[in-house]
Amino acid sequence: MGAAPPVEATSGGRARLGIRRLGRTGFRVSEIGFGAWGIGGAAAPGYGPTDDETSMAAVRLAVELGCTFFDTADSYGFGHSERLLGRALGAVRDGVFIATKAGYDFYHGPPRPNFAPAYLRWALEQSLRRLQAESVDLFQLHDPPAAVLFDPRVVAVLRALKAEGKARAVGVSAATVEDAFWALQAGWPETVQVHYHMLAPEAEALFPLAAARGVGIIAREPLANGVLTGKFGPRPRLAPGDIRARRGAAYWARATAAAARLARFCREGETPTQLALRFVLERPEVSVVVCGCKTPAQVRENLREVRRGATTSDG
C-alpha cells in the first residue's frame, strides 16, 4: 500500500487517471475512489446481497482502470468488505491506498459505538489481519461524536498507531456536516470524510477551513445513494437488506423529482452519474470522491468521468 503512482500510466498498464493531493498527508490518490460498503453484503446493514466473485472482479477492474483509493470500514459486512479487499488487492497492492474505519463495535454483542483507546487499537489489528496488511494508509474514526474528537486519550492512541507504522495517516469519517466541522476544529485529523452531492451541498461551508488547515476532504455518496444516477423512480424496488428501503415514500418522491430536474444540466453525451461526479470534482478542495461500487458495470460507469479527462490538482 502507499501513495498513488504518477498521473501517467504505470508499467503495469493502469489507465491514466486524475490525481489529487490528500491534504497534508503527503499522499496523492486518484480523484475518484472505490467505496467498499456495498461489497460487504447483506450480513450487516448495507446495500443488499452480493456475489463475492463479482465484488472482487469490481475491485480488480477499478485498479485496472486506474483507481488507487479504496475506502472501507470494519463494520461493512462485519469485516467482509475488508476481507474481500485483502483478497482482491493481494497481487496489486503497490500503489493502492486503503482507508478503513473503526468505532462501531460489532464484536461484543449488538453493534454499538465504541471509541475507547484500547478498543480502537484492537479493532485496527483485526482490520489489518483481514486486509492482509501490516499497515493501513488511512485509519478513520467512524462517526465519532464531538466529545471523542477532543478526548486526549483517543488522540494519543491515534498518534501512537502512526508512530508505530500501523496507520500512515489518521482522519475522521463524519456522520454530519456539523460533526465534520468539529473534526476540523479538533485540529488533529489529516482528512475528513463527509456527505457531499448535488442534493446536499452543505459541506461546501467547510471547504475554506479545510483548505486553510491542509485537511483532505473525502466526499462520499456523490450519487446520493444512487438517486442521482436517474435509475430510480419514486417507488423503487430494493433488495432485502438494502438500507435505502428505510426511507419513506416522501423522501423518494422528493429526491427523484429533484434528480430529474438536475439531469437537464447534463452536457452533450454526459450521463446523470457523470454530471453528479463533475459537480463534486469541480471543487479543488475535494481530494477524492468515493463512489459505492458492487459490480464491474458500476465501476465502469463511476470511473468513466475521470477517463474522459484526467486532471491533476494540489487542492
pTM of the model: 0.91
pLDDT for 223-254, tens place per residue?
999 999 999 888 888 877 777 878 888 998 99
All domains of the chain, ordered by start, with CATH? 19-102+172-313 (3.20.20.100)
DSSP letter string over 209-231?
HHHHTTPEEEEE-TTTTTGGGT-
Query: Is the pLDDT assigned to residue 136 strictly greater than 50?
Result: yes
Contacts of 104 (CB under 8 A, 6+ apart): 73, 74, 75, 111, 112, 113, 114, 142, 143
Contacts of 201 (CB under 8 A, 6+ apart): none
Average pLDDT over residues 37-52: 85
Catalytic residues: 76
Query: Is the pLDDT assigned to residue 8 strictly greater than 50?
Result: no
DSSP letter string over 65-103?
TT--EEE--TTGGGGHHHHHHHHHTGGG-TT-EEEEEE-
Average pLDDT over residues 43-62: 89
Query: Is the pLDDT assigned to residue 315 strictly greater than 50?
Result: no
